[in-house]
Chain A
């Protein structure tokens, strides 16, 4: 039963959207019945839509209801302005009554499905998500053809709605956890959407100063299928070409889904190198400062001489030296992210020359420190997930501060603090360090 609405609905639409450049209202006659077609030309190909409607209504229709049936129109049950903003096409009778939605020919605003942009994938599916939610769901269904895949839709926002899909596998995920997540999102359904971090705060009450992320981001549908099978929950946010996987677990930093394609021995080796990389990234600069400034006596005498020789002429303490070099590296990171592709390689070369040669020759830093910082920077990226590399980058400075004051004891204390943070991090009773009996899921 299609609902007739009052004449004021047309006036309301014109009032809200009539000023917009892409607002389009077009009189049509289909099957001898005059009507008006309303759409936003930036979202709908109005020409193609009008042609399709005309072709659909070739024969004569006796009344409005019969016409709507022939066109396959849908009742308008929600806010008409919202529907137009979502890219739907509205048809109205000339008096402004009898509104119904018809199938739109959408404008191609989304980029085609391609490879991942910010994630390198080795020897696995290279497909990456795009901004369109429907396409992303299709990519996941392509990887996981399971009737157990459950999708819950939650619209967040007050005036402007942002769609969030909650995906889970009913035979793998904890149903109570899924319900908690959906409930937590529903409670904030009228809060304007600002960022993923805001969503994360809704799900987990963590102090603002905690640097640990509560989710993993991935651009790969293949990886999403892997996480869903492990019982995790995946959020797809409209407009984001990434999936958000919750809860985050410490093994996510070191174990990728592609590791399962290797033999256990080689997979173990790769994981061990990642863990070693993370430890080097955190400890290396702090160890240098601790051993040079506070406790040089713990090293072998030959090493002490060698390090002392490399520091001849450096006019400030090792902490200052380390901070200067780390700051230069951080500036290089941030600049390279934003540089146009044509300038990037040149800047890399300039940065390398400045860092590698000139600064040592000018006795601003020692050559050993260059090696250590370079190793630490490279090791930082052995960890999986950009969010975690940021945490490691931050913790490097905290360790540096502790090490400069307390030496190796400071490193122990800094490491203990980090482990305390990680051990106490939970998301709705799911800890970041998961120690559960191994159960085989799908």
Chain B
């Protein structure tokens, strides 16, 4: 039971940090109405990927991570190393985006590179530990982060005006809107980690599916709260609609003015554990390799690369352009990994030794 809760909390905690960045504006800007359809499609894609990565409800004995660690040269060159590179870029994108947001909102005097280093150094602390340590950390982070997030969402609900969310009839305008692409990469990014934390027992999988259902609530809140407060026309022009909404919220009995501080704190926890998780997976994938691959995938080296990469991204707009092109590529890689997971599971079921 306890591991099931940790895995489910890990899933939720990984999600909400990514929601702050490009998710709300991507969804709001992609469609004039009926945003719920885009969210549900993304959520279902997430469910589909989850099914591929972890399988049905039966207990699994295969570990994708172990199989990839033991894989042969061609699989490593064709799949594992591109995934490792993609992780490095993903870490760079995350720290750049969040450092920029923090610089804009709270720390305008602090040099950007200092914030980048701070995020990496903080996340490094647990990237050398075991898998269970990360799950325990996610449980504790969830215990602090989720109530903070819930508090901000509940405070913002007072400002919601249901009339503003109409019309709710969906259109298919998002299909030819490139700005939706980063949102989809956010939907699936979490599988870059969850898929490697198996094998999962039956009870753990039930908890994970439960967490997947709950995550829909966060997706909808992140989009519909700003929409219901500002309306489509105003929200369409906002870069960080949720943060602007939370800065508008006034809680009389509270001594803080800007509630977005708590939202940012909760998302920072999530971002840090995201980065720690990616550093951990990257290190684990080369665990049985020779000296040079292990050196390259050392969290310190990966973190340094991510800082350098993030520093040379000129602006937030360039970062978003990077997500436009890089997001689908990462999705494609994760999809191939998910198919690999299916392959290994099926081989294990028929009793064969999967060719690594």
What is the bound-complex CA distance between A406 and B111, given in angstroms? 11
Q: Is the interface of B mostly helix, strand, loop or mixed?
A: helix
Q: How far is the CB of A271 from chain B (nearest CB, A)?
A: 14
Q: Are B257 and A298 in contact (CB under 8 A)?
A: yes
Segment among A310-318, A362-370, A416-424 that sits at the interface with chain B: A416-424
Residues in chain B near residue A409, CB distance under 8 A: 102, 106-107, 115, 118, 264-265, 268
Interface centre among B136, B144, B255, B256 (most CB of A within 10 A): B136
Q: Are B125 and A412 in contact (CB under 8 A)?
A: no
What is the bound-complex CA distance between A366 and B180, given in angstroms? 52
Q: How far is the CB of B279 from chain A (nearest CB, A)?
A: 12
Q: Are B132 and A407 in contact (CB under 8 A)?
A: no
Q: Which of B100-141 contact A (CB under 8 A)?
A: 102, 106-107, 110, 115, 118-119, 122-123, 125-126, 129-130, 132-134, 136-137, 139-141
Segment among B2-10, B159-167, B168-176 that sits at the interface with chain A: B2-10
If A416-B272, A417-B125 touch, does A424 touch B133 (CB 8 Å cutoff)? yes
If A419-B140, A423-B137 touch, does A435 touch B256 (CB 8 Å cutoff)? no
Q: Are A413 and B272 in contact (CB under 8 A)?
A: yes
Q: Which of B267-294 contact A (CB under 8 A)?
A: 268-269, 272-273, 276
What is the bound-complex CA distance between A431 and B3, given in angstroms? 13
Q: Are B126 and A424 in contact (CB under 8 A)?
A: yes
If A431-B133, A435-B3 touch, does A422 touch B272 (CB 8 Å cutoff)? no
Residues in chain B near residue A408, CB distance under 8 A: 106, 261, 264-265
Closest chain A residue, CB of each to CB of B138: A423
Q: Is B258 an interface residue (CB 8 A)?
A: yes
Q: How far is the CB of A268 from chain B (nearest CB, A)?
A: 15
What is the bound-complex CA distance between A19 and B282, given in angstroms? 67
Interface centre among B5, B137, B139, B273 (most CB of A within 10 A): B137
Residues in chain A near residue B129, CB distance under 8 A: 420, 423-424
Q: Are A299 and B137 in contact (CB under 8 A)?
A: no
What is the bound-complex CA distance between A420 and B107, given in angstroms? 25
- A residues in contact (CB < 8 Å) with B: 294-295, 297-301, 303, 405-413, 415-417, 419-424, 431, 433, 435-437
Q: A409-B268, A424-B126 are in contact. List 16 more A-B contacts (CB 8 A).
A: A295-B261, A300-B256, A405-B110, A409-B107, A409-B118, A409-B265, A412-B269, A413-B272, A415-B144, A416-B269, A419-B137, A420-B137, A423-B126, A423-B134, A423-B137, A431-B132
A-B contact pairs, 12 of them (CB 8 A): A299-B257, A300-B255, A407-B107, A409-B107, A410-B118, A413-B119, A416-B122, A416-B141, A423-B136, A424-B137, A431-B136, A433-B136
